[in-house]
Amino acid sequence: MPKVDVTKCAMTFRDEIKAAIEAGVATGGKRPKLVGFLANGDDAATMYARWTERACTRDGIEYELRRVERVDLEEAVMAANDDPDVNGILVYYPVFGGPIDDYLRDVISVKKDVEGLNHRYRYSLYHNIRMLSDFRNMKAILPCTPLAVLKILSFLGAYDLAKPIGNQVQRV
């Protein structure tokens, strides 16, 4: 098995994202806006929010952190779902923990869930559905860990989207 330069793989994917954003802006589009909701005092979540802001700034994405009380989070997410200036939403968990956090994941609109944690995306992942036909064939978002695995496999030449589903992973 060849040694994987994960940094190089991540840079390639990041370069793809940056190029797509810059191409959109160059043709008169607006920079995408990501809104992160922090509704807890968790130090790790706060650090993750800082890292998200740094990554967005570096990659040309507008980022806004909204600190809300956890009991107001549902309403705040629903307002962001309806805001045409917001392209993506993420929530820094844990908020309540357990089933209430599961519910909050599903409050985020499928069209604005950037983490792929909404029930529709989780269902699609488990059933190997890549396009959401009920959303005009919108591509299904994969949660970051499975997506990272696929990007690394693709970088290694071990994952080929051109092949039929079920035969896309190859031995290297």
The mean predicted confidence, pLDDT, of the chain is 87
Q: Which of 20, 144, 149, 172 is catalytic?
A: 144
b/e 63-102 (16+ beta carbons within 10 angstroms → b): beebebebeebbebbeebbeeeebbbbbbbbebbeeeebe
Residue 89 pLDDT > 80: yes
pTM, two decimal places: 0.78
Question: Angle between the 6-26 and 144-155 helix axes, to the nearest 10 degrees?
Answer: 100
**Which one-letter amino acid corresponds to residue 132?**
L
Chain segment 35-51, per-residue pLDDT in tens: 999 999 999 999 999 99
Domain 6-117 top-level CATH class: alpha beta
**Does residue 144 carry a catalytic annotation?**
yes
Q: 């890549």: which residue's tokens? A: 130
- Is it true that the peptide bond before 99 is cis, omega within 30 degrees of 0? no
Least confident of 1-5, 29-33, 97-101, 124-128: 1-5
Mean pLDDT of 9-18: 75
User: What's the mean pLDDT in 116-143?
Assistant: 81
Domain extents in the chain: 6-117
